[in-house]
Amino acid sequence: MTRNELVVEGVSVTFPGGMQALRNVDLRVGAGEIVGLVGESGSGKSTLGRVVVGLQQSYSGLLQFGGETIHPRRTRQQRCAIQMVFQDPYASLDPRMTVWQLLHELMSVHGIGSGREDRRQRCEDLLRRVHLPLTMLDNRPATMSGGQRQRVAIARALAIDPQFLVADEATAALDVSVQAGIINLFADLRAMMGLSQLFISHNLAVVRSLCDRVAVIYRGEIVEMASTEAIFDAPQHDYTRQLLAAAPDLP
């Protein structure tokens, strides 16, 4: 098992009221790998993402990261290691704070960097990594475009030096014209930092262009998991075929 490999074994989630959102899910995301998670609305994608990132603490089954078992109550280090990027940067960023304030606050909370100057340096590095101009440190999210805001949200996820990202519909709220830039950014982060990713999306074309392997989830169960080529060119499960057939704009 390598440093940033994620293993999910036999994970089930039942919500109060009896809704079984995940059934015995097995999933592995290798070091530096990007695995797509696709399935219709309500199939359990976000629930699985929330289990992986530690937001859904009530589950049965086993989680391992970097060879270590992760318990529902995570250590500080485990919490930092796996970070999430959400669909809606409007909701996940305080619009009144400048980018510098957002990032600086997070670093202070997590004890990252030694003093203001060092943190300023780190913030500039983060902006470079997400391809935003350094002058944006003094901007507020409220004055930025959707794409720029999502880059800030990604910089925020990167600020605590994670080894794994869960992206939940991270491009769904964006114009098609800016989606491609954000997709390239996820690919860059893998290439530059070896960042492993679980990439949740409704958009099969995006999944096809970005992911190494794809897991198909149906009613809380992974029905098929294979290389991206195999899923798109030779789907094995009926449900996968239906999902592909329902996406007529696939290239």
Stretch that binds ligand ATP, among 34-42, 97-105, 122-130, 131-139 (CB under 6 A): 34-42
Which residues 6+ apart lie within 8 Å of 103 measured at CB? 119, 122, 123, 126, 137, 155, 156, 159
By the rule CB under 6 A, 134 interacts with ligand ATP? no
- CA 9, distance to chain mean position in Å, is 19
CB neighbours of residue 207 within 10 Å: 24
The residue from 43, 46, 196, 197 that contacts Mg ion (CB under 5 A) is 46
Size of the site for ligand ATP (CB under 6 A): 11
Quote the CA–CA distance of 190 and 176 in Å, as a whole number: 22
By the rule CB under 6 A, 21 interacts with ligand ATP? yes
By the rule CB under 6 A, 148 interacts with ligand ATP? no
Q: How far is the CB of 250 from ligand ATP (least distance, A)?
A: 18
Quote the CA–CA distance of 193 and 165 in Å, as a whole number: 12
By the 10 Å C-beta count (0-12 exposed, 13-18 middle, 19+ buried), 102 is classed as: buried
**In terms of CB distance, is 43 or 228 closer to ligand ATP?**
43
Site for ligand ATP in 37-76 (CB under 6 A): 39, 41-47
Residue from 118, 146, 144 nearest 133 by CA: 144
Stretch that binds Mg ion, among 42-50, 104-112, 180-188, 204-212 (CB under 5 A): 42-50
Q: How far is the CB of 122 from ligand ATP (least distance, A)?
A: 33
DSSP β-ladder status, 60-65 and 68-69: antiparallel
Binding site for Mg ion (CB under 5 A): 45-46
Binding site for ligand ATP (CB under 6 A): 15, 19, 21, 39, 41-47
